[in-house]
Amino acid sequence: MSHIGRPGEPDKRSLRRELLSVRNRLTADDLRETSAALAARALELPELAGAGTVAAYVSVGSEPGTLALLDTLRARGVRVLLPALMADNDLDWGVYEGEGSLARVRHGGGRMELFEPSGERLGPDAVTTADAVLLPGLAVDTRGMRLGRGGGSYDRVLERLERAGARPSLVVLLYDTEVVEQVPEEAHDRPVHAVVTPSGVRRFGERTG
Q: Write the CATH number for 144.
A: 3.40.50.10420
Is residue 1 domain-resident? Answer: no
List of residues 6+ apart from 27 with CB closer than 8 A: none
Q: What type of residue is 196?
A: V
| Average pLDDT estimate for 98-108 | 87
In a domain, 208, yes or no: no
Identity of residue 90: D
pTM of the complete model = 0.88
Number of structural domains in the chain: 1
Q: Examine residue 25 and state whether it is found in any structural domain, yes or no.
A: yes
High-pLDDT (> 90) share of the chain, %: 63
**10 has pLDDT over 90:** no
Q: Which residue has the higher pLDDT, 69 or 7?
A: 69
Residue 4 maps to a domain: no
Q: Please report which confidence band the pLDDT of residue 169 belongs to, taking 50, 70 and 90 as the band edges.
A: very high
In a domain? residue 3: no
Strand partners, 172: 135, 195
Q: Is residue 92 part of a domain?
A: yes
Domain residues for 89?
9-203
The pLDDT score that the predictor gives to residue 6 is: 45
194 within some domain = yes
Residue 133 pLDDT greater than 80, yes or no: yes
Collapse the DSSP code of 196 into the 3-class scheme (helix H, G, I; strand E, B; otherwise coil) and give the result.
Answer: strand
Domain-located, residue 2:
no
What's the pLDDT at 4?
A: 36
Q: What is the Cα–Cα distance from 7 to 11, expressed in whole angstroms?
A: 8
